[in-house]
Chains A and B, each alone.
Chain A
């Protein structure tokens, strides 16, 4: 276990370093950030001055070295645009994104697992066919379209949910959270539903496939021969055995949604970090983008680590090495 942790930690540092190099290289091809910060009528002298201030007059290698050394001292760089520490900018917006994603994932699981189990256990029933057809829609409909339809129906037409913004928040442990207020839930409903549909459909199909596979196993029939109820056979014996691939996909989707909920956040004007990423890319705000993507890499590594631990909780035959 200890060896495993060390291995994982080294792996993580390697990933973070590679991400920083790639982003640095990419950003040097995407235009000169100086023109994003100087006024339109700036003189050559002013531009040169700004370039020097931002450290952009030096070679890419020197810039990277400076970035790396200050990183090791805990300084993640400052946004060219906001003149604030990049990390602060991101962390400020993170709770909004994370809470929306958590609601979306919870919704996806609560709907997908029972429907997936049902569809896997009764592959030929009419309801299963309806469930599977709907899940295809869930996978293929683009999020921005679903978001707009939801806004049209629930916000414009029926007026039951607000169309944008985050609503009231309450503070807990220094974080601003909207899940503690009625108004907050009111606002989070539509974006969370929009965000959850794709994941819901994938998890449903994974659960169904797993259950169909597991249903053929002898231990399922043996459990029935013991006199167990159908529900117990499916959920206590079957589901747990079908869960490994579902957990894998859950982890990947969780990371993906936290990192790139950009489109949904844009449609619902949700003040999350995905919107910050898009804005920063438009403005070539390299320090924010680099830190953002490194943070995303970190999130993925941590989630995968947690998924590995969940594997061992599900299946006693799996050990961490």
Chain B
């Protein structure tokens, strides 16, 4: 459900531009992205691989490494800009205000430190608790993500856990300091299908429990439609459409969103061919003039090659960047 519109935003991203300056040219991975997340909201950030989703996540935490750089825009956390904030301030934001869950639990934990030590590190950094209180907090947290015999498991190393268990540990670490916002970067992509829904349920429960907000970065519209209050669709570093989850899934205005939705296999009907979006993401180093999606778009016309469509209001409160948007009920 979309929360009250008057709700003041927890995080406001305005015109964020993150570029990577490589030998073969400048990659405009994120090029003018804006969105807002209210307190307690879940936002889905959706797009194909290479669409700049993860870069948005890392930009928010100030974890863009050379040759990447945030070139402009604002990232306001409760009104305070993180782009211009210094490393010291960002360190207090990371883990305490905003934490992150990575895609692959097999590689996001340090293989040489016990799970307990990696959890304890968060509390040592972000709380004044004494050692025994920290230990208790870690045990409680580990139990609340569904790991039994938690006190014992704290002494174990990551390689003694399965992939799903490790992702539970990662979630436990992310939730430990009661952050206001969790950025989950494809948190279930690397897991078995049977584990995926468990992890998603766990994350939803944790967030609801703590009243935290979440950015769920994924390419999987099925996942996001179950979890998110509203969705932002990225294509080539730009927002092409955003809106409340239900409206965006049922009546998308942008042909790209429609294509993504049609690519979800429908198990109720047997098809000879899976639906797909023709072509692939263009070379982001030298994007053509006009709409970035036009080469793959069945509705493209002469205008699309000349002018980049701005994000404009559509039906049902959706915003879409398209010269020839779809109307409700219209198919590609």
B109 A222 Cβ-Cβ under 8 A: yes
Picked from B94, B112, B126, B173, the residue with its CB within 8 Å of the CB of A241 is B112
Q: Is the CB of A227 within 8 A of B92?
A: yes
Q: B63 to A228, Cβ gap below 8 A?
A: no
> Which of B29-37, B100-108, B242-250 forms part of the interface with chain A?
B100-108
Inter-chain contact A224/B107, CB cutoff 8 Å? no
Contacts of A157 in B (CB 8 A): none
Chain B interface: which size bin?
A: 20 to 34
Q: A315-B111, A315-B112 are in contact. Are A222 and B102 (CB under 8 A)?
A: yes
Query: Would you call B121 and A228 a contact (CB within 8 A)?
Result: yes
Complex CA distance for A228 and B58, rounded to whole angstroms: 15
B94: contacting residue among A226, A236, A240, CB under 8 A: A226
Interface string of B146-162 (1 = CB under 8 A from A): 00000000000101000
**Residues of B contacting A218 with CB < 8 Å?**
102, 104, 107-108
A237 on the B face (CB < 8 A): yes
Q: Is the CB of B112 within 8 A of A314?
A: yes
Given contacts A227-B95, A229-B91, contact A219 B159 (CB under 8 A): no
- B159 engages A316 (CB within 8 Å): yes
A87 at the interface (CB under 8 A from B): no
Give Cα A103–Cα B200 distance, bound, in whole angstroms. Answer: 56
B127 to chain A, nearest CB (A): 11
Closest to A315 in B: B112
Interface residues of A in 166-223 (CB under 8 A from B): 217-219, 221-223
* With A217-B107, A219-B110, A317-B159: A224-B63 Cβ-Cβ less than 8 Å: yes
Q: Out of A124, A221, A240, A317, which one reaches B63, CB within 8 Å? A: A221
A159 to B79, CA, bound (A): 65
Q: Mark B51-82, 1 if CB is under 8 A from A, else 0.
A: 00000001001010010000000000000000
Given contacts A124-B66, A218-B102, A221-B63, contact A227 B111 (CB under 8 A): no
Q: Which residues of B contact A224 (CB under 8 A)?
A: 61, 63, 94
Q: At the interface, yes or no: B208 with Cβ under 8 Å from chain A?
A: no
Contact of A223 among B61, B87, B110 (CB under 8 A): B110
**In the complex the two chains form, is B111's CB within 8 Å of A241's CB?**
yes
Whether the pair B107, A228 counts as a contact (CB closer than 8 A) is no
Is B99 in contact with A225, judged by CB distance below 8 angstroms? yes
Min CB distance, B64 to chain A, in Å? 11
Tell me the minimal C-beta distance from B154 to chain A in angstroms. Answer: 14
Nearest to B158 among chain A residues (CB) is A219
> In the complex, which residues of chain B have a beta carbon less than 8 angstroms from the beta carbon of A237?
110, 113
Name A225's closest neighbour in chain B (CB-CB): B100
Q: Write the A233-268 contact mask toward B (1 if CB under 8 angstroms, else 0).
A: 000110011000000000000000000000000000
- B96 contacts the other chain (Cβ, under 8 Å)? yes
Question: Given A226-B121, A237-B110, do A221 and B157 touch, yes or no (CB 8 Å)?
Answer: no
Cα A80 to Cα B125 with chains together (Å)? 68
What is the bound-complex CA distance between A124 and B67, given in angstroms? 11
Cα separation A190 to B109 with both chains bound (whole Å): 45
Give the complex CA separation of A315 and B93 in angstroms. 31
Contacting pair B95 A219 (CB below 8 A): no
1/0 per residue, CB under 8 A from B, across A270-297: the answer is: 0000000000000000000000000000
Considering the complex, give the chain B residue whose CB is closest to the CB of A123.
Answer: B66
Residue B231, interface by CB 8 Å:
no
Chain A residues near B63 (CB, 8 Å)? 221, 224-225
Interface residues of B in 229-284 (CB under 8 A from A): none
Specify which of A124, A225, A226, A317 is in contact with B111 (CB 8 Å cutoff). Answer: A317
Closest beta carbon of chain B to A312's beta carbon, Å: 12
Closest CB pairs A-B (n = 6):
A227-B95, A227-B94, A218-B107, A226-B95, A225-B100, A219-B110
Chain B interface residues toward A at CB < 8 A: 58, 61, 63, 66, 87, 91-96, 99-100, 102, 104, 107-113, 121-122, 125-126, 157, 159, 170, 173
